[in-house]
Structure 1
Amino acid sequence: MRVVFAGTPAPALPSLRAFLDSGRHEVLAVVTRPDAQAGRGRHVVRSPVAALADEHGIEVLTPRKASDPAFLDRLRELAPDCCPVVAYGALLPQAALDIPPHGWINLHFSVLPAWRGAAPVQAAVRAGDEITGASTFRIVKELDAGPVFGVLTEPIRPGDTAGDLLDRLADAGADLLLSTVDGVEGGLLEPKEQIPDGASYAPKVTVEDARVDFALPALAVDRLVRAMTPDPGAWAGFRDERIKLGPVAQADAERLGPGELRVERRQVLVGTATGPVRLGEVQAQAKKRMPATDWARGVRIEPGERLT
């Protein structure tokens, strides 16, 4: 099948590689978000999908909007049979959806209709779900509401960060997406409509969403930090500055007030609404990430100081 692959970040790479290596499908081009500034130096960089396409000499389309007439004209010229999609990051107009005869088939990292939206993995970790997964579905105008071709499930492990879980789903989901396109090409798959009553939503995570509220119970603090790791990174205030926090662990220790810090020889504790949690790694502004004990020695925490 002739395909145009749409995707932007690193989790889309296993799927793109699967199509490149399949020997069954011709990747005519990729569609990805425009080059953007990144890193401390704010250098302009290609998206991971664009960089991989460049390595293989594949045409890269970077429309600012998928409704741009020039982009739609080029897509019609390429005449793909199908457009597989993984985390493209932009809305697709009906004019684009109508071009490939087999539609745009999206790999979404949840078991639909649960956690429709931009951040399904973070939402599942934060909610304390025990099982999540990935789904392939045909894209329609309504957000993540199209009929589903296939599903896989994946347990969420007790210490999983969103990054850990997303890596596993991206790898397993690549096989699901490839097999879905194979089945559609062979006329072997018919998608099933989602049951809208079971829908839940996972909007894009903001930096403010990643602020840790130590007035929550320890379990909720643990889930929030893991859900925000690595992106955008959980954080809290300390001495009028923002510090990033790595995953924490619930500690068997006497109660502390919410946010209250206590430095011990081998651990740094912070209070929550229930028991304290033990800090893992800490990254102060303009500093490297380091163990919490090293950070605490460097800043010389005073009795009664808090994370806010």
Structure 2
Amino acid sequence: MKPLRLAFAGTPDFAAVSLQALLDGPHTVAAVLTQPDRGAGRGKKVQPGPVKKLALAHDLPVLQPDTLKTDEIQNQLRDLALDALIVVAYGLIIPRAVLALPRLGCVNVHGSLLPRWRGAAPIQWAIQAGDRETGTTIMQMDAGLDTGPMLLSESLTIGARETGGELHDRLAEQGARLLGTVLEDLPGYLEKARPQPEDGVTYASKLTKAGARLDFRLPGAALVNRVRAFNPWPVAWVDFDGQPLRIWDAEEVPDTGEPEPGRIVTVSDDGLTVACGDGAVLLSRVQLPGKRPMTVAEVRRGHPELFQPGATLE
């Protein structure tokens, strides 16, 4: 099959891995679409995202519309005379008019085994739910939310202590590899596309900082999964003395007999043992406001009075 003329739509690190794979391959990337630059970091300084940085480094035309629904951007895409549009974690809705522009349609790389975890944050939701397996699906896009027919999928085992960041990186590499396989014979894969099953549909809503707050009434396993899922973003947190305390590492420990969820039972260099819905969890690495993540042992050396048995995390 001769090389394809493509455009690429994506924004974060996850998408940049697939874009790099395309740049390393035989196909032509005619343009890159990415979300408008936004403020990031403590100072909210406006800066380009990972996909834009990579595109500019390779002298690719970059389009950053607020929406794909205008005649202006649709005419720009039409003039590119694309074989396919590759979409990876773009973050904007692809309207029907755009889906119909490329000769072979639009192809999406999604970080789950569809139809499980359709939506914005499939990686974190899989860990949070306690899934032991996930994977990547390459699909032909339609007007629904991750509902299109599947071209290729591959499973991947989730490690027992794997974080959202670690799983993100493995799925990004897997997605880039599977995308390359599909593009070797895109017409053939489109011809054999499989509709998604009607059973097993779940949705992975967008992550928020507010949604990462821990509720110690939950079972220990659920709390540990949430801490893993939200590492490195948005990071699980609790209220401690009126200030947010971020939690970076947690594990289940034997029941202490403390009936009050959220109460600190013991404090040691190993961490904070905190009562929860069905026992206790050990919080070993935390982050105070304005500070870097530290082990509890490091915090105690600088602030021995800070954590005391009987205090409550909410």
TM-score interval, normalised by the smaller of the two chains: over 0.9
Encode CA deviations 1:233-252: one digit per residue, 9 max, x unaligned.
11000001111110201123
Aligned mate of 2:5, from 2, 6, 10: 2
- Distance in 1 (alpha carbons) for counterparts of 2:189 and 2:286: 52
> How many residues align structurally?
307
Which portions of structure 1, spanning 4 or more consecutive aligned residues, are displaced by more than 6 angstroms? none
Q: CA deviation at 1:49?
A: 0.2
Contact 2:124 2:230 in 1 (8 A): yes
Task: Tell me the equivalent position of 1:181.
Answer: 183
- Distance in 2 (alpha carbons) for counterparts of 1:50 and 1:265: 43
SS at the partner of 1:85? strand
Task: Tell me the equivalent position of 1:42.
Answer: 44
For structure 2, list consecutive stretches of 5 or more residues without a partner in the other structure.
Answer: none
**Alpha carbons of 1:226 and 1:265: their partners in 2 closer, same or farther (altered >3 Å)?**
closer
More strand by share: 2
The question of 1:281 aligning with 2:285 is answered yes
Contact 1:242 1:285 in 2 (8 A): yes
- Distance in 1 (alpha carbons) for counterparts of 2:127 and 2:311: 29
Contact 1:72 1:96 in 2 (8 A): yes
Q: Percent identity?
A: 39
Contact 2:150 2:195 in 1 (8 A): yes
- Distance in 1 (alpha carbons) for counterparts of 2:191 and 2:135: 19
Q: CA deviation at 1:293?
A: 2.6
Q: CA deviation at 1:139?
A: 0.8
Q: CA deviation at 1:68?
A: 2.5
Contact 1:237 1:307 in 2 (8 A): yes
SS at the partner of 1:246? strand
SS at the partner of 1:90? coil
Task: Tell me the equivalent position of 1:306.
Answer: 312
- Distance in 1 (alpha carbons) for counterparts of 2:164 and 2:190: 34
Task: Tell me the equivalent position of 1:293.
Answer: 297
Aligned CA RMSD, in angstroms, stands at: 1.5
- Distance in 1 (alpha carbons) for counterparts of 2:277 and 2:21: 46
Encode CA deviations 1:45-99: one digit per residue, 9 max, x unaligned.
1010000000000000100011122211111111111011110011111111111
Contact 2:5 2:28 in 1 (8 A): yes
SS at the partner of 1:99? coil
Q: CA deviation at 1:6?
A: 0.8
For structure 1, list consecutive stretches of 5 or more residues without a partner in the other structure.
Answer: none
Aligned mate of 1:124, from 112, 122, 126: 126
Contact 2:271 2:285 in 1 (8 A): no
Q: CA deviation at 1:186?
A: 5.7
Q: CA deviation at 1:265?
A: 4.2
- Distance in 2 (alpha carbons) for counterparts of 1:277 and 1:187: 47
